[in-house]
């Protein structure tokens, strides 16, 4: 990354220097050439003013002005013969062109030549030739080119420094993003990308952080599903296995009924798995008007026999004035199943389930006659938390389900005789449930 940025900046700078420097070098050369022509023409014109118009007919000597810049002056007659000065014996193309009546500029013999006509009484009687070696013009142009080359190299050097700094500044956050992505790939979803101050890179960092957080949540939900499914299915599967083994071993057992009961239990367990999966994927089961009577009857069918086998009665009471609620029947069934299972495993005596009206909604209380809960009352709802290790998964799952339904699950009375309460907010009108008792 760093090398690519460095090469890109250096290439762009080199192209810019070339596109700007080459035309400038050509323009400088043309400028120096034009300046030399103007200077030669000026000197030749000055010499013309020193030449008398009668030099052709008189034998008087003619003197040309002296020069100090290496310019060579020469005077020619109309016939092209050299009269005086430093020049070829006969006229060249520049002199020939000047004798026609106008200044002329040519390059001949490695010199830049300018010729200006000498006019007497409106007639061209001769020409003054001014010449300068091309090397003088080239030396000035070469000096300018060397200066521009040095400036171009300086610009490239500065660009190299800037490119190195920018490459480091831009590549460092990219390298940091790569390291963060590698940590996410290794399963460290707490990894956060540092902000660099580069808007585009920071936007990628924010997106990467959000992706990592989302992946962490998904993984946590999948792990929670594994724990919840294991917790919720272990006891029912054990009971199902016992019933099937009893039906196989006891000669008088009704095997058809045992199979029918097993299929019903399998359907219930399948619903439990589906519901836990939907919770793990953040897509809760569909909500509707809760048939509280059906939920309580299902709870009774599930737990009456198991509690009775341990000599413990199950008492279910639904008051007549319970308000209607809107909730997922599967979620409420899971919550009540966890609460009754908790009472069966950790409590004692009669297990009582009571549905009653509560301020703003419905309360379903589950209590038993056990010794109660000691210590931090909230600890029982924390998943696998220290002192709550015997309660952590089921009650934590039940509270999550209650909150997902917009309700609450709390330990209403720590006991002795602890009571847990599921509070659901009131919803559309539904049929009230008649009170019933079972034991």
Q: What pLDDT is stored for residue 439 in this prediction? A: 44
- The string of pLDDT tens digits covering residues 94-114 is 888 988 888 888 888 788 899
Residue 300 has pLDDT above 70, yes or no: yes
Q: What pLDDT is stored for residue 428 in this prediction? A: 53
Give the number of C-alpha atoms closer than 13 A to the C-alpha of residue 208, restricted to the C-beta side.
25
Q: What pLDDT is stored for residue 256 in this prediction? A: 79
Q: What pLDDT is stored for residue 142 in this prediction? A: 84
Q: What pLDDT is stored for residue 115 in this prediction? A: 92
Average pLDDT, the chain: 80
CATH code of 287-425, in short, is: 3.30.565.10
Q: What is the mean pLDDT of residues 385-409?
A: 69
Residues written for the chain = 439
Q: What percent of the chain has pLDDT over 70?
A: 86
Q: What pLDDT is stored for residue 438 in this prediction? A: 42
* Residue for token pair 């209607």: 324
Separation of alpha carbons 109 and 93, rounded Å: 12
Separation of alpha carbons 280 and 282, rounded Å: 6
Instruction: Name the strand (E) or helix (H) holding 113.
Output: strand 111-120
Question: What is the tally of helices (H) and strands (E) in the chain?
Answer: 8, 12
Helix 199-249 vs helix 392-404: crossing angle, to nearest 10: 120
**Which sign does the torsion angle of CA 260, 264, 269, 271 carry?**
positive
**Which sign does the torsion angle of CA 217, 221, 227, 228 carry?**
positive
Within the chain, all domains assigned CATH 3.30.450.20 are found at 2-149
Q: What pLDDT is stored for residue 224 in this prediction? A: 61
- The string of pLDDT tens digits covering residues 256-274 is 777 877 787 777 777 667 7
Q: Which residues have C-beta within 8 Å of that of residue 348, sequence separation ≥ 6?
A: 312, 368, 369, 370, 371
Q: What pLDDT is stored for residue 354 in this prediction? A: 93
Instruction: Name the strand (E) or helix (H) holding 374.
Output: none
Residue 435 has pLDDT above 60, yes or no: no
- In the numeric block, which tokens belong to residue 410? 């709390």
Q: What is the mean pLDDT of residues 12-38?
A: 86
Q: What pLDDT is stored for residue 380 in this prediction? A: 78
Give the number of C-alpha atoms closer than 13 A to the C-alpha of residue 422, restricted to the C-beta side.
30
The strands making up 104-108's β-sheet, listed across from edge to edge, are 82-85, 72-77, 123-133, 111-120, 104-108
Q: Which residue has the higher pLDDT, 419 or 69?
A: 419
- The string of pLDDT tens digits covering residues 191-204 is 787 787 777 777 88
- In the numeric block, which tokens belong to residue 397? 């799952």
| Model confidence band, residue 434 (pLDDT cutoffs 50, 70, 90) | very low
Do residues 162 and 10 lie in contact, with contact meaning Cβ atoms separated by under 8 Å? no
Within the chain, all domains assigned CATH 3.30.565.10 are found at 287-425
- In the numeric block, which tokens belong to residue 166? 């920018």
Q: Name the 3-class secondary structure at 427.
A: coil
Weakest mean pLDDT among 268-277, 377-386, 421-430:
377-386
- In the numeric block, which tokens belong to residue 422? 């599921």
Residue 429 has pLDDT above 60, yes or no: no
Separation of alpha carbons 7 and 356, rounded Å: 77
Q: What is the mean pLDDT of residues 353-361?
A: 89
Residue 219 has pLDDT above 90, yes or no: no
Q: In this structure, what are the phi and psi dihedrals at residue 105, rounded to the nearest 5 degrees?
A: -130, 130
CB-based burial, 309-347: b 16+ in 10 Å, e otherwise: eeebebebbbeeebbbbbbbbbbbbbbbbbbbbbbbebb
- The string of pLDDT tens digits covering residues 140-161 is 888 888 888 898 888 888 888 8
Residue 1 has pLDDT above 70, yes or no: no
Do residues 95 and 117 lie in contact, with contact meaning Cβ atoms separated by under 8 Å? no
| Model confidence band, residue 234 (pLDDT cutoffs 50, 70, 90) | low
Burial label, 426 (beta-carbon count in 10 A; 0-12, 13-18, 19+):
middle
Q: What is the mean pLDDT of residues 7-11?
A: 84
Q: What pLDDT is stored for residue 284 in this prediction? A: 53
Q: Which residues have C-beta within 8 Å of that of residue 113, sequence separation ≥ 6?
A: 40, 92, 94, 105, 106, 107, 129, 130, 131
Do residues 378 and 337 lie in contact, with contact meaning Cβ atoms separated by under 8 Å? no
Separation of alpha carbons 127 and 123, rounded Å: 12
- The string of pLDDT tens digits covering residues 163-189 is 888 777 777 777 777 788 887 787 777
What's the N-to-C CA distance of the chain in angstroms? 75
Give me the CATH topology for the region 2-149.
Answer: Beta-Lactamase (3.30.450)
| Helix locations, 51-133, DSSP H | 93-98
């Amino acid at each position: 990354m760093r090398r690519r940025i460095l090469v890109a900046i250096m290439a762009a700078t080199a192209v810019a220097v070339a596109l700007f420097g080459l035309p400038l070098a050509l323009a400088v050369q043309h400028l120096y050439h034009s300046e030399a022509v103007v200077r030669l023409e000026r000197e030749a014109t000055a010499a013309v003013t020193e030449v008398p118009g009668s030099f052709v007919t008189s034998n008087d000597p003619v003197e040309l002005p002296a020069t100090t810049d290496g310019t060579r002056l020469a005077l020619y007659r109309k016939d092209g013969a050299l009269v005086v000065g430093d020049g070829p014996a006969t006229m060249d193309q520049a002199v020939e062109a000047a004798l026609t009546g106008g200044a002329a500029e040519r390059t001949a013999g490695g010199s830049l030549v300018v010729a200006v006509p000498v006019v007497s009484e409106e007639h061209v009687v001769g020409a003054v030739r001014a010449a300068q070696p091309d090397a003088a013009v080239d030396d000035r142009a070469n000096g300018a080119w060397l200066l521009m080359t040095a400036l171009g190299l300086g610009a490239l050097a500065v660009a190299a420094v800037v490119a190195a700094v920018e490459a480091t500044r831009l590549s460092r956050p990219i390298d940091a993003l790569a390291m963060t992505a590698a940590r996410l790939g290794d399963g460290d979803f707490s990894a956060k990308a540092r902000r660099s101050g580069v808007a585009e890179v920071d936007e990628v960092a924010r997106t990467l952080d959000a992706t990592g957080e989302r992946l962490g949540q998904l993984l946590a939900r999948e792990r929670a599903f594994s724990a919840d499914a294991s917790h919720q299915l272990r006891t029912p599967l054990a009971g199902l296995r016992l019933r099937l083994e009893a039906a196989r071993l006891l000669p008088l057992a009704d095997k058809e009924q045992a199979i029918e009961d097993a299929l019903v239990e399998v359907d219930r367990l399948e619903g439990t798995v589906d519901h836990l999966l939907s919770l793990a994927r953040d897509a809760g089961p569909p909500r509707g008007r809760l048939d509280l009577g059906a939920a309580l009857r299902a709870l009774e069918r599930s737990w009456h026999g198991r509690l009775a086998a341990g000599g413990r009665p199950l008492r279910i009471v639904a008051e007549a004035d319970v308000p209607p609620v809107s909730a997922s029947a599967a979620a409420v069934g899971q919550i009540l199943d966890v609460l009754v299972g908790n009472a069966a495993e950790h409590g004692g005596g009669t297990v009582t389930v009571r549905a009653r009206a509560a301020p703003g909604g419905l309360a379903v209380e589950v209590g038993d006659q056990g010794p109660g809960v000691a210590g931090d009352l909230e600890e029982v709802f924390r998943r696998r938390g220290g002192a709550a290790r015997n309660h952590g998964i089921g009650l934590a799952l039940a509270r999550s389900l209650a909150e997902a339904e917009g309700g609450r699950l709390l330990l209403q009375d720590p006991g002795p005789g602890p009571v847990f309460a599921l509070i659901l907010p009131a919803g559309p009108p539904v049929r009230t449930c008649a009170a019933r008792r079972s034991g």
